[in-house]
Structure 1
Amino acid sequence: MSAAPRFVYDVAASACGGLRTLVAGVEVLLRASGALWIEKRRTLVAADLHLEKGSAYAARGQMLPPYDTRETLGRLEREADALSPDIIVLLGDTFHDRGSEARLADDDAERLRSLARRSLLVWVVGNHDADGPAALPGEVVDELDIEGLRLRHEPQDGPQPGELSGHLHPCARVVASRGSVRRRCFVTDAERAVLPAFGAYAGGLNVRDAAFAGLFARPPIAAALGASRVHAVGWRSLGPD
């Protein structure tokens, strides 16, 4: 009996350095910033910004440079400038904790309001920010459908064709003959995708971790973020931490 044919992923490099691929038949662009672009609906998606994580740690006595929110919002603004989205979806855990919005510097809050004046800003709630923003503009939702894709913060168990999620902060350790490198990544099996954390101070979980087990119908690929390009990496080239 012959073996089942190997699944071939439909992945193509883009001029911007990203990767174009299909999720449940819908074309998406995986960008080097860690954001995802749905061209057909002019929708920009970014997960797990964890704004004000630095100030949360400082309040507990662990002093980190207090620039994470500024850096994260700067990258989001550059994505908005490059793409002019109609919709910006923040895919949960946009704030690091329930007090983060109150700790925002005035100019950082104004940057979020400015984004909302340019695009419809949609706040998907996550486990760190279950109530959504109190004073900032935009729509607060548990999840939403766009072009047949289901956008939610936390991936659900079992087959979930079309699901785009965050929460797990995927990272890939790419193993080669000369050593290995660890990078944030998208991870997808062409049916669903988990986005990398967009926040400057957000950590990462190796895609070989048990938390990813059972999410994918076939061995997924990692789309690892480089300085200006996204690199498609097969499952066999990924190692544990």
Structure 2
Amino acid sequence: MEAELLERFDFFSGALYIREKKLCVVSDIHIGLEETLYAQGLHFPLREGATLLDRFEAILERFSPEIFVLDGDIFHSFDRIARSVQKKFVTIVERLRAECEVVFVRGSHDTMLPSVMAGSVERYDAGEYTVIHGDQTFPDHGFLVMGHDHPVIEIELQRFPCFLYGQGVVNGKDLIMMPAFNPLSPGVIINYAKGRDFLSPLLRRVDAGRLQPVVEVDREVVIFPPLAEMRRLM
């Protein structure tokens, strides 16, 4: 199964690349988290805009996707988009659109997205794949790609953003949950998580023990056993 997963997908710098569709997905970009932290009293530079743009540049260079999906919680603030945040967003979108089509999937934070960028959607379907943010449920879907919960795995007191793969865990369909793309976003440790611990209403009904963490470290992808098996070993 691990070999098949790596044949279909590539995992790099918080992005999922679906090879057969030439489709790239990132989730939980949270543009403007930097401004929120400054407003809370943080006083050292975080370089959010440059860091995000560098990550997007590396992804474009590696995959040359035809479609790039920004999968929800594109912005951090619910109620206002500061001029500096909008500038970072426009810079990123212009860079992506120079290379490929860009799709905006709305997340729970994106109440202001329609006022900044027209054409956002609640879901994006590409053949057998359905990309959603994860804050809503949908009665019909394909292989789910979603974000929303910012999964992180803790190994020997170190925390690593991770993808979560579940074979047939949602209505018999496979699932890949994305890590938060913004490195400033706090992660949620999933080592001992149960379905009820997730924010997503979809995952609250899932047997979390069947989910497999997928971690990319130093450009090497490691697929761990399901969480239930990991817990027995730990």
TM-score (norm 1): 0.77
Q: Verify: 1:42 aligned to 2:33, yes or no.
A: no
Cα distance in 2 for partners of 1:157, 1:206 equals: 23
Tell me if 1:83 matches 2:63: yes
What are the equivalent positions in structure 2 for 1:147-166 lying under 5 Å apart?
147-154=127-134, 162-166=143-147
Stretches of structure 2 lacking an aligned partner (at least 5 in a row) = 168-173
- SS of the residue aligned with 2:148? coil
SS at match of 2:214: strand
Structure 2 CA distance, aligned partners of 1:35 and 1:106? 22
Match of 2:217 in 1: 226
Identity of aligned residues (%): 23
Aligned AA (2:179): P
> 1:44, 1:87 within 8 Å by CA — same for their partners in 2?
yes
- Asked if 1:96 is matched to 2:76, the reply is yes
Secondary structure of the residue aligned to 2:46 is: coil
TM-score (norm 2): 0.79
Number of the residue aligned with 1:145: 125
Looking at both structures, which has the greater relative contact order when contacts are Cα pairs under 8 Å and sequence separation is at least 6? 1
Contact 1:151 1:163 survives alignment (8 Å): yes
Provide the residue aligned with 2:151 in structure 1. 170
* Residue equivalent to 2:6: 20
Q: Deviations over 1:119-163 (max 9, x none)?
A: 111111111113425445x74111111121111101656996511
Decide whether the 8 Å contact of 1:173 with 1:181 is kept in 2: yes
| 1:237 equivalent in alignment to 2:230 | yes
Distance 1:118 1:44 in 2: 12
SS state of the match for residue 113, structure 2?
A: coil
Displacement of 1:218: 6.3
Instruction: Report the Cα distance in structure 2 between the residues aligned to 1:161 and 1:220, rounded to whole angstroms.
Output: 18
Whole-angstrom CA distance in 2 between matches of 1:122 and 1:200: 22
Which amino acid in structure 1 is aligned with residue 75 of structure 2?
Answer: F
Whole-angstrom distance in 2 between the partners of 1:108 and 1:158: 28
- For residue 199 of structure 1, what is the aligned residue in structure 2? 182
CA RMSD of aligned residues (A): 2.8
The residue aligned with 2:170 is: none
2:105, 2:122 within 8 Å by CA — same for their partners in 1?
A: yes
Unmatched tracts of structure 1, length 5 or more: 1-9, 14-18, 22-26
CA-CA distance at 1:92 after TM superposition: 0.3
- Larger deviation, residues 198-207 vs 217-226: 217-226
Q: 1:20 is aligned with what amino acid?
A: L
CA-CA distance at 1:168 after TM superposition: 0.1
